[in-house]
Chains A and B, each alone.
Chain A
Amino acid sequence: MLEKTGVPDSEQIKKITPPEERLKKGPVAVVECFQNIPCDPCQYACRQGAIEEFEDINDLPVIDHELCNGCGLCISECPGLAIFVIDATYSDEEGLVKMPYEYVPLPEKDEEVTGVDTEGRSVCGARVIRVQNTKALDRTPVITLAVPKQHLMRVRSFVRKGGE
Chain B
Amino acid sequence: MLKPEIAIVGGGPAGLSAALSAVRQGAEVMLMDRDPALGGQLVKQTHMFFGSKKEYAAVRGIDIPGQLLAALEEEGADRFKPYTSTTVLGYYEDGVILADKEEQALLIEPQKVIVATGAAEKMLPFPGNDLPGVYGAGAVQTLMNVYGIKPGSRVLMVGAGNIGLIVSYQLMQAGVEVAAIIEGAPRIGGYLVHATKVRRAGIPILTSHTIKEAYGKESVEGALICNLDENWCAVPGSEQDMPVDVICLAVGLIPQTELLWQAGCEQKYIPELGGYVPRRNEKMQTSLPHIYVAGDVACIEEAGSAMVEGKIAGLFAAAELGYDEKVEERYKSYIHELEELRAGPTGAKIRQGLSRLNGGAEIC
Q: Which residues of A contact B (CB under 8 A)?
A: 2-8, 32-41, 44-45, 56-58, 77-82, 102-104, 116-121, 138-140, 156-157, 159, 164
Q: Which residues of B contact A (CB under 8 A)?
A: 47-53, 57-58, 60, 160, 172-173, 177, 186-188, 191-203, 205, 207, 302, 304, 340-347
Residues of B within 8 A of A35 (CB): 191-193, 345-346
Interface SS, A side:
loop
Residues of A within 8 A of B173 (CB): 102-104
Nearest residue in B to A99 (C-beta to C-beta)? Answer: B200
Task: Give the shortest distance, in Å, between B333 (CB) and chain A (any CB).
Answer: 14
Residues of B within 8 A of A58 (CB): 340, 343-347
CB <8 Å contact, B207 and A38: no
Nearest residue in B to A33 (C-beta to C-beta)? Answer: B193
CB <8 Å contact, B192 and A3: yes
A139 and B52 in contact, given A38-B340, A79-B47, A120-B201 (Cβ under 8 angstroms): no
Task: Give the shortest distance, in Å, between B349 (CB) and chain A (any CB).
Answer: 13
Nearest residue in A to B337 (C-beta to C-beta)? Answer: A57
The 8 A-B residue pairs whose C-beta atoms are closest, nearest first, are A80-B193, A58-B344, A120-B202, A6-B195, A79-B48, A41-B58, A39-B50, A6-B199
Residues of A within 8 A of B345 (CB): 35-36, 58
7 contacts between A and B (CB under 8 A): A6-B188, A6-B205, A35-B193, A41-B53, A79-B50, A80-B50, A121-B202
Residues of A within 8 A of B202 (CB): 116, 119-121, 159, 164
CB <8 Å contact, B341 and A57: yes
Nearest residue in A to B200 (C-beta to C-beta)? Answer: A157
Task: Give the shortest distance, in Å, between A35 (CB) and chain B (any CB).
Answer: 4
**Bound form: Cα–Cα A53–B53 in Å:** 13
CB <8 Å contact, A6 and B60: no
**Bound form: Cα–Cα A137–B230 in Å:** 44
Interface SS, B side:
mixed
CB <8 Å contact, A120 and B48: no
Residues of B within 8 A of A164 (CB): 177, 202
A120 and B199 in contact, given A6-B192, A58-B345 (Cβ under 8 angstroms): yes
Task: Give the shortest distance, in Å, between A57 (CB) and chain B (any CB).
Answer: 5
CB <8 Å contact, A38 and B58: no
CB <8 Å contact, A120 and B188: no
Residues of B within 8 A of A80 (CB): 50, 191, 193-194, 196-197
List 15 additional contacts besides A37-B346, A38-B342; criterion CB under 8 Å.
A6-B195, A38-B52, A38-B344, A39-B51, A56-B340, A58-B345, A77-B58, A78-B193, A80-B194, A81-B197, A103-B172, A104-B173, A119-B202, A120-B202, A157-B200
**Bound form: Cα–Cα A119–B195 in Å:** 10
Nearest residue in B to A116 (C-beta to C-beta)? Answer: B200
CB <8 Å contact, B343 and A56: yes
Residues of B within 8 A of A104 (CB): 173
Residues of A within 8 A of B50 (CB): 37-39, 79-80
CB <8 Å contact, A119 and B343: no
Nearest residue in B to A59 (C-beta to C-beta)? Answer: B344
CB <8 Å contact, B58 and A3: no
Nearest residue in A to B50 (C-beta to C-beta)? Answer: A39
Residues of A within 8 A of B201 (CB): 120, 157
Residues of A within 8 A of B53 (CB): 40-41, 44
A139 and B344 in contact, given A7-B196, A40-B53, A103-B172 (Cβ under 8 angstroms): no
Residues of B within 8 A of A57 (CB): 51-52, 340-341, 343-344
Residues of B within 8 A of A38 (CB): 50-52, 302, 304, 340-344, 346-347
CB <8 Å contact, A3 and B199: no
**Bound form: Cα–Cα A104–B173 in Å:** 7
